[in-house]
Structure 1
Amino acid sequence: MRNFYLAACTAVLFTFTSCGSDSESGGGITPEPPSEVVVKPNFTPIQVTRHEGKPFSTGVTSRDGKNIVGPGGPVMMQAFYWDVPQGGTWWNVLSEKIPSWAGSGITSMWLPPVTKGQSGGYSMGYDPYDYFDFGQYTQQGTTETRFGNESELVNLISTAHSKSMLVFADMVLNHNSGGASEYDPNIQDYYWTDFTGVKSGKFPRTYLDFYTNQGTDRDEGYFGEGRGMPDLRHTREHVQNWLWKSPESVAKYYKNTLKFDGWRFDYVKGFGTWVIREWNKSVGGFSVGENWDGNPSELENWANSAESAVFDFSLYYKMDQAFDEQNLMKLTEDVYWKRNPYKAVTFVTNHDTDDIWNKHYAYAYILTHEGYPTIFYRDYEEWLDKNKLNTLIKIHNERATGNTTILYADKDEYIARRNGYNGNPGLVVYLNTSEQTQEKWVETNWASAAIKDHTSHAAAWNPTTRADKWVKIKCPPKSYTVWSTP
């Protein structure tokens, strides 16, 4: 797909050359210009998107009416991981994190499914049983959910809103679990589809509300072969009313009573895109779907049809190849955000998959490039250098503006420029996976301007751009730098 972008390229062909020692530039000394034209084979600088360059927007302001989107757009925290501690403490743990997260520039948080699952206090929420039990009913062997109770959940959301952070609910609309066995006369067999005993008394379900075989009337997808986790039949009016249509529906209760600001939809391959469209038309809010597919065309088609953002799995797999297999040319290839950055939610890892090992490059990439970057809880709180992540978040919020031009790429090096927007200067990001310090001449956004590396990885290198905006920048071995005006 790289040829598509080369054909669409509108940028002038830029030139590059490696330069000499550190003594040629630094301390504010203007570097010498390139002495010759050197163009890497099979690479042409790419203007990867044709759009205005405005920041990603969730379409939602904070509850106090403030605009939470800075120049670079929002940053999301995935506020859980698989098998977080049991015992009903997680909502309180997150409440305590919110002030520091908000202070670091994180503007939204994605919570795990908040309702009672089949496995009660052990459940991570992806086996939904009672959509209206948030830890207040004793059923499935517990009262609280794994994460806490309803009052603690409401307090968490309220605390987030007090810091102008949005909160997104993880919605599992495909499959249910924990129902009693009942006889289905249509197939003359017993299935686990009797949910009339849910203690909330809301959204009772029977075999009529599920697909219990692979018949021709199925909506989309199939999960668990109908046993244990039957799929909801979204074409049923009863199901639609309880999920989003009626005033007492799941969607309206989450939005109007619990005060959620948006939605992460689980396993969207299991049902039609029209379900997401209708849900969003009914209650609004930001939405993003988990369409687990590395094909950017599939992601594009789904996002357009669902009228929703989508996680950019195509970028996830390209970053794995680029950083773990050490081939940064993969970053020049087609991914979904290059097609529509306004519907692309980018990420490095999540609760389901953790394939990228060289994560510091990946976070440097998603926090300087277009899309809606997502930080994984354990990466931020446990596994990586929080100070470096906070620096990247600050760079994103203040400098990651405008559309993107990929300036240079080879196996070990990758340089891209954010072209700035609405008076914001933009930036140049340099990734270097080699064992040596690398230097390159690049064309920037700035004429006759002192610039610096905002990561401080190349703190001793303080060049000034020429009048034609060219400058020599550098990157230490196995590191990254981000250049902009002071």
Structure 2
Amino acid sequence: MKLNKILILWILALFMGLSSCSSDDSEIDPTDDVTGQPDPDPEPQPDNPEPIDLSAYDNGSRVMMQAFYWDVEPRFEWWTNLTDKVGGWADAGINRLWLPVATKGQSGGYSMGYDVSDYYDFGNYNQHGTTETRFGSREELEELISTAHQNDVEVIADIVINHNSGGGLEYNPYRGYETYTLFDEEHGNASGMFNRNYEYFYPNSVSQYDPGSLFYAESNLDHHREYVQDWLWKKDNSVAKYYKNVMGFDGWRFDYVLGFEPWVVKAWLDEVGGFSVAELWDGRASVLRDYVNETGSGAFDFATFYKLEEGLDRFEDLNTLDQDMLWKTHPEKAVTFTANHDTEKDSNEDNFIKSSNKMKAYAYILTHPGYPTIFYSDYENTDFQDEIKNLIEIHNSIATGDTEILYIDEDEYVMKRAGTGTNPGLILYISISNSTKRRSVSSNWNNVTLMDYSGNSTYNPTSDENGAVTIEAPSNGYSIWSITE
């Protein structure tokens, strides 16, 4: 009887073991080289293949740095901190810096600038309890911009033209009570430029329109007023022209564009030009596309951000990466990102990508079309920096050519960039499986030994005469394949 029980238990164990093995032949068998045991069907491994020189394949692409995080420290030293870093960032392949709002806000030395008060106080007027902004003095900002230009790096201004804050109280007949809408030399606008009162906020004597801003509704600028248009972008010393011609800014990041109409951004760009990206916080690619088409501005690709967050974190299903994203139709207007100052401070877990998945997300945006943005806190993280630098080098060299998804399922994503001319392109392989994976795919490379330029795999497969090759992704990681010498 005891023997029969043992036999039954042995049969059950054998059955369960067989049923737990993946039917997917791309998964490494537990007796292969992953565990140091002989591979049952080993591929010949060439001796120390030589990588290609990525610097010889400059594809002209670069990346942008978001050069701040929420509540940066130390206060009053941020511009100097960035000045010291610009040269290294430029060497790494960064060609634009997105700076925080550079002018005085209601919170004075504690303000991140989004409570904008005086559009012309760059840290040179004593108001709201301080002369310097949170980030430093005007002279230090000018030194930063000059240093960036010396390194062929453009500087992008964060523009808040929806709401104002920090004005004086005045009786507002259109609301029937006092509002903080008086901005002059004594009330939050020490520069004396672009003074304003209740007539230039919604509602007023000529306009009842209100886009329904979620922020500072009582001091929401009315862009239909000629006076507001003159001071924001039309006059010779308008905000736009002063920032560009006097301060030396090269482009614009428009904050919270849901708070005003698209024609405002188009009119601004028609007047002064420059690189532009809009913060339209909407995960629908169709909405982003409509905005880009209407304004001519680029936009942060929130569609891609949320598909990455869903695929890597929320649903753990990489099939989300086959859905609609802005870069797929407007790659030249899609500014891709994995984190920003808002997502990293947001307590909503669906609004940020976990640290453990950050590098897979960066591998995605830095190999796909679009204009990637690097988040300061990620780059300055010593655990991430070398990896991000390497991904930037890959992006600026061999991440080029048509894009094709070679394979996708719940835990694997394989994408090919076809390359152009003599540029070989690449293949990205992301896996969220807990085991090392291998998959046979069709490449553009015939009879060539490949290597993983991310450094995450030491496997060196060789393609056959038709370009077929088996590539590998580490468990819960990524690899980026291209040719060797």
Q: TM-score range by the shorter chain?
A: 0.7 to 0.9
Ranges in structure 1 where 5+ consecutive residues have no aligned partner = 1-15, 30-68
Is 1:308 aligned to residue 297 of structure 2?
A: yes
Partner of 2:198: 207
Instruction: Judge conservation of contact 1:137–1:200 (CA < 8 Å) in 2.
Output: yes
Instruction: Judge conservation of contact 2:162–2:256 (CA < 8 Å) in 1.
Output: yes
Partner of 1:127: 115
Partner of 1:138: 126
Is 1:233 aligned to residue 229 of structure 2?
A: no
Pairwise CA distance, 1:86:
4.6
Pairwise CA distance, 1:458:
1.1
Partner of 1:79: 67
Ranges in structure 2 where 5+ consecutive residues have no aligned partner = 1-23, 34-38, 48-56, 345-351
Q: Separation in 1 of the partners of 2:107 and 2:93?
A: 36
Residue 217 to residue 251, structure 1, CA distance change in 2 (3 Å): same
Q: Secondary structure at the match of 1:342?
A: coil
Partner of 2:444: 445
Residue 236 to residue 477, structure 1, CA distance change in 2 (3 Å): same
Question: Partner amino acid for 2:123?
Answer: G
Instruction: Judge conservation of contact 2:163–2:217 (CA < 8 Å) in 1.
Output: no
Q: How does 1:177-188 map to 2 (within 5 A)?
A: 177-188=165-176
TM-score of the pair, normalised by structure 2: 0.85
Partner of 2:237: 248
| Superposed CA offset, 1:122-177 (max 9, x none) | 00000010000000000111000000111110110111111111111100010000
Partner of 1:25: 43
Partner of 1:435: 434
Is 1:340 aligned to residue 330 of structure 2?
A: yes
Question: Partner amino acid for 2:469?
Answer: V
Partner of 1:283: 272
Partner of 2:144: 156
Give the aligned CA root-mean-square deviation in angstroms: 2.0
TM-score of the pair, normalised by structure 1: 0.85
Larger radius of gyration: 2
Q: Separation in 2 of the partners of 1:88 and 1:281?
A: 35
Question: Partner amino acid for 2:46?
Answer: G
Q: Of the candidates 353, 356, 363, which is equivalent to residue 353 of structure 2?
A: 356
Partner of 2:389: 390
Question: Partner amino acid for 1:239?
Answer: V
Instruction: Judge conservation of contact 1:243–1:250 (CA < 8 Å) in 2.
Output: yes
Q: Of the candidates 444, 451, 469, which is equivalent to residue 467 of structure 2?
A: 469
Q: Secondary structure at the match of 1:398?
A: coil
Partner of 2:347: none
Question: Partner amino acid for 2:130?
Answer: T
| Superposed CA offset, 1:217-270 (max 9, x none) | 32534233634xx11110111111111001001101111111111110000000
Q: Separation in 1 of the partners of 2:421 and 2:241?
A: 37
Instruction: Judge conservation of contact 2:27–2:436 (CA < 8 Å) in 1.
Output: no
| Superposed CA offset, 1:3-30 (max 9, x none) | xxxxxxxxxxxxx96377555325239x
Q: Separation in 2 of the partners of 1:84 and 1:428?
A: 37
Q: Separation in 1 of the partners of 2:121 and 2:175?
A: 31
Residue 449 to residue 124, structure 1, CA distance change in 2 (3 Å): same
Pairwise CA distance, 1:444:
1.1
Question: Partner amino acid for 1:199?
Answer: A
Q: Secondary structure at the match of 2:84?
A: helix
Q: Secondary structure at the match of 1:417?
A: strand
Pairwise CA distance, 1:281:
1.0
Q: Separation in 2 of the partners of 1:176 and 1:225?
A: 7
Question: Partner amino acid for 1:326?
Answer: E
Residue 26 to residue 235, structure 1, CA distance change in 2 (3 Å): farther
Which aligned segments of 4 or more residues in structure 1 are displaced greater than 4 angstroms? Answer: 19-23
Structure in which a larger fraction of residues adopt helix = 2
Q: Separation in 2 of the partners of 1:297 and 1:466?
A: 41
Q: How does 1:312-331 map to 2 (within 5 A)?
A: 312-324=301-313, 325-331=315-321
Q: How many residues align?
A: 429
Instruction: Judge conservation of contact 2:203–2:209 (CA < 8 Å) in 1.
Output: no
Partner of 2:12: none
The alignment-based identity, stated in percent, is 49
Instruction: Judge conservation of contact 1:72–1:401 (CA < 8 Å) in 2.
Output: no
Q: Secondary structure at the match of 1:291?
A: coil
Pairwise CA distance, 1:419:
1.3
